Amino acid sequence: MYSEFGYGILLLSFFVAIYSVVAAVYGATNKSLALIESARRSMLLMFPLISLSAATLIYLLVNDHYEVSFVYEVTSRSMPTYLKVTAWWGGQAGSLVFWSWLLAAFASAVTIRKWDRDIEFLPWVVVVCSVTLAFFIGLVVFYENPFTRFWSVGGAVEPHMFAPANATLFTAQDGRGLNPLLRHPGMVIHPPMLYLGFVSFVIPYAFAMAALITGRTDDRWIRLTRRWSLWAWLFLSMGLVLGGRWAYDVLGWGGYWGWDPVEIASFMPWLTGTAFLHSVMIQEKRGLLKHWNMILVILTYDLVIFGTFLTRSGVLSSVHAFANSPIGPLFMVFVTTSLVVSIGLVIWRWPQLHSETEMKSMLSREALFLLNNLLFMSILVVCFWGVIFPLVSELFTGQKVTVGPPFYERATAPLFSALLFLMAVAPLSAWGHSTFETLGRAMWKSAAAASVVTAALFFTYTKSIGALIGFFLIALILFVTFQEFWRGARARQKAQDENFFTALFRLMGRNRRRYGGYIIHISMALMAIGILGIEIFQSETQGLLKQGESLNISGYDVKYRELASWDSKGEGVNYTRATLDIYQNGIYIGELNPRIDYYFDSQQNMTIPGNRSTLRDDLYVLLVDWQPVSSDGATFKIFVNPLVNWLWIGSLLFLVGVIFAAWPDKDPVEERTRASRQVSQPSSAD
């Protein structure tokens, strides 16, 4: 009964989405406000409908309904309740329902806003959101149904939505359980963050298409979606960081990023989204790059769908990807169609998207922002080619040739270095016009300070040219950004006769977008320290140790003390844990306990490293293998990852910066109204 109900609600949601599209298009073309309102209400209905279906699926997951194939595939009786809930997005079919549910929530949120000034946008925003929703719900209804049940047909067990002839319902005693890699806390949060980022970018795209269709090509659509874009970027960024942390904790790479195809599939829309956030400022300030902004938002939307396709089609081998699925060709048709239609609209409105001013200086802020965009696009091209190369090679040679990390690292390193340099220079340039002389005067002190820091690192830390260039650029960003905070606060301090900290606080509050961006720049510089440290200075070793033996690496001595193994029947897990004594320069500093967890339900292992973290480095130890008798020895793999924790510190500061930049300002009209009321009210002294 529950399965039929959940499936029926999804089917109803699909038809409501189709109706919403038809009503919105017909209402807009015939100027029928009643039909447009009907389409809007249909859009609002989507969220409670999909929520009802999702709640039904969660009920089935939590209550061990193993007659449902999806429940059987992703849960088991030994899993705690919270993991059964998160198994919702742990499998192919459930994740598509989750995607649809989030989009319905965001589309509903955007349709309940006041549309008085922008009523012409409404039907077309509804069309784009509903078409996207209809596509994803259609995939669930017709191809990846999470409510399919097991039926015993002639002695064989087969999955079907409805009972075949002469079939009886089959219920398994227990499920296979969620993949152990997906039981890590990072994977509880990582997929929802990515999905939030993906889905949020649909809203700016919908407004951009509405602007093209209606011919309203000013920057109104950008202002309406500015915070949507910022929050989408935040969610996508945090999804990438959490995915990196998950990989660092459980995959045993000894790192956070392996240039895996699915990692890159999530990274590509982040690149275009970041370029878009920089580029729209040029349109708002100078009326430039209107064509370019449209192309960027279109690329971001289509890369979101393309990334979803790569994850779910099974065309690429990845630890992150789902199994092979028939929905891959449908994704490609949808991506291709949306791209062709969107570019067609841009071409149709091309003359109306002309720039209002001209770019007169190659060192102006708008020119540097454009160069910043081109660098992001260059990295995108490298990533896109690396991802599709296996498909191209298989098409022409019959062999799938993969592209490894060395290709990406060599190709993108100079591009990322150039981006760091622009991050330092761009805040010092002026809108409209700048010269080498003005930029030189603005940044020479910061450059001198960065040079001193680099020289100190040369004598005390490293002689690597690549590392020193990277550290110089990072120091330059930090000094320039702190200089901007200092200059702004000092100017306000003198003008308003305030103390320095009050001036700084009020200055940042009056220009959240600018100073939130500066906080993000600082966070990026801190993250770059961690990336530089692990990429250039990482060291590793591996060896078989008997009890009492040691491995030495980068000043650490890792001594094998003992190994224990036990079953936790309630959890359905076998734990095998090694105990290691750690010495640094001959001084005992503690113990580490790397382990391997074997899950009986899924019959899979999960590797948990032993990790000692400081700001200086991480000592990261993996238990690779062991003999049944601990005295026969165990194999360990050890990494020393210098400076990597600055990556996680920078990530937290990044979160602060984006929230600060996106936080709503007080409504100036409301503030003026409140002030006038206070002035008009007589005081008690009167």
Cα 609 to chain center, whole Å? 25
Output the pLDDT for position 669: 43
User: What's the pLDDT band for 19 if we cut at 50, 70, 90?
Assistant: very high
As a whole number, mean pLDDT of residues 487-510 equals: 91
- Boundaries of every domain in the chain: 1-178, 539-646
The tens digit of pLDDT for each residue in 413-426 reads: 999 999 999 999 99
As a whole number, mean pLDDT of residues 271-285 equals: 92
Instruction: Please count the other Cβ atoms lying within 10 Å of the Cβ belonging to residue 203.
Output: 25
Alpha-carbon gap, residue 9 to 49, rounded angstroms = 6
Q: Are 247 and 182 in contact (CB under 8 A)?
A: no
400-409, 410-419, 483-492, 657-666: least confidently modelled range: 657-666
207-221, 387-401, 670-684: least confidently modelled range: 670-684
First to last CA, the chain: 73
User: What's the pLDDT band for 601 if we cut at 50, 70, 90?
Assistant: confident
Alpha-carbon gap, residue 143 to 257, rounded angstroms = 32
Output the pLDDT for position 673: 47
Indicate whether 410 pLDDT > 50: yes
As a whole number, mean pLDDT of residues 283-291 equals: 88
As a whole number, mean pLDDT of residues 358-377 equals: 90
Look at the domain 1-178 and name its fold: Four Helix Bundle (Hemerythrin (Met), subunit A) (1.20.120)
Task: Find, among 198, 205, 2, 209, the residue nearest to 100 by Cα.
Answer: 198
What is this structure's pTM?
Answer: 0.90
Residue 294 contacts by C-beta under 8 Å, 6 or more apart in sequence?
208, 212, 346, 353
Output the pLDDT for position 47: 96
Task: Find, among 262, 299, 321, 279, the residue nearest to 95 by Cα.
Answer: 321
Output the pLDDT for position 315: 55
Tell me how many degrees the CA angle 369-371-377 measures, rounded to the nearest 5: 105
Residue type, 169: L
The tens digit of pLDDT for each residue in 45-55 reads: 999 999 999 99
Task: Find, among 584, 517, 525, the residue nearest to 553 by Cα.
Answer: 584
Alpha-carbon gap, residue 360 to 51, rounded angstroms = 53
Burial class of 270 by CB neighbour count within 10 A (0 to 12, 13 to 18, 19+):
buried
- If you ran DSSP here, which 8-state letter would residue 666 be given? P
As a whole number, mean pLDDT of residues 104-125 equals: 91
Indicate whether 589 pLDDT > 60: yes
The tens digit of pLDDT for each residue in 202-240 reads: 999 999 999 999 998 888 999 999 889 999 999 999 999
Q: Are 42 and 20 in contact (CB under 8 A)?
A: yes
Q: Are 64 and 58 in contact (CB under 8 A)?
A: no
Residue type, 377: M
Instruction: Identify the sign of the CA torsion 35, 41, 47, 52.
Output: negative
Q: Which residues pair with 131 in a beta bridge?
A: none
Exposure class string for 308-326: b at 16+ Cβ within 10 A, else e: bbbbbbbbbebebbbeebe
Q: Are 162 and 8 in contact (CB under 8 A)?
A: no
As a whole number, mean pLDDT of residues 139-166 equals: 90
As a whole number, mean pLDDT of residues 493-519 equals: 91
Instruction: Identify the sign of the CA torsion 23, 24, 26, 27.
Output: positive
Alpha-carbon gap, residue 408 to 385, rounded angstroms = 10
* Percent residues over pLDDT 90 in the chain: 63
Indicate whether 650 pLDDT > 90: yes
- Furthest-apart CA pair in the chain: how many Å? 94
Cα 483 to chain center, whole Å? 31
- If you ran DSSP here, which 8-state letter would residue 32 be given? -
Alpha-carbon gap, residue 435 to 364, rounded angstroms = 8
The highest-confidence range among 128-137, 351-360, 509-518, by mean pLDDT, is 128-137
- Angle between helix 202-214 and helix 122-142 axes, rounded to 10 deg: 130
Alpha-carbon gap, residue 571 to 180, rounded angstroms = 12
Q: Are strands 595-599 and 587-592 parallel, antiparallel or unpaired?
A: unpaired
From its phi and psi, is residue 202 left (phi > 0), alpha (psi between -120 and 50) or beta?
Answer: alpha
- If you ran DSSP here, which 8-state letter would residue 117 be given? T
Alpha-carbon gap, residue 579 to 566, rounded angstroms = 14
Output the pLDDT for position 682: 44
Query: For residue 353, what are its two tokens?
Result: 């998207």
Q: Are 77 and 175 in contact (CB under 8 A)?
A: yes
Output the pLDDT for position 685: 38
Indicate whether 326 pLDDT > 90: no
Report phi then psi at 584, rounded to 5.
-125, 120
Instruction: Identify the sign of the CA torsion 476, 477, 480, 482.
Output: negative
Output the pLDDT for position 471: 97
Output the pLDDT for position 400: 76
Alpha-carbon gap, residue 652 to 650, rounded angstroms = 5
Q: Are 610 and 594 in contact (CB under 8 A)?
A: yes
Torsion of the alpha carbons at 38, 41, 42 and 48, rounded to the nearest 10: -160
Query: For residue 526, what are its two tokens?
Result: 């801190």
Burial class of 338 by CB neighbour count within 10 A (0 to 12, 13 to 18, 19+):
buried
- If you ran DSSP here, which 8-state letter would residue 403 be given? -
Mean pLDDT of the chain: 89
Task: Find, among 100, 169, 145, the residue nearest to 7 by Cα.
Answer: 145
Alpha-carbon gap, residue 427 to 200, rounded angstroms = 28
As a whole number, mean pLDDT of residues 165-189 equals: 86
As a whole number, mean pLDDT of residues 109-114 equals: 88
Alpha-carbon gap, residue 592 to 639, rounded angstroms = 13
- If you ran DSSP here, which 8-state letter would residue 120 be given? T
Burial class of 621 by CB neighbour count within 10 A (0 to 12, 13 to 18, 19+):
buried
The tens digit of pLDDT for each residue in 297-318 reads: 999 999 999 888 777 655 555 4
Indicate whether 319 pLDDT > 60: no
Indicate whether 678 pLDDT > 70: no
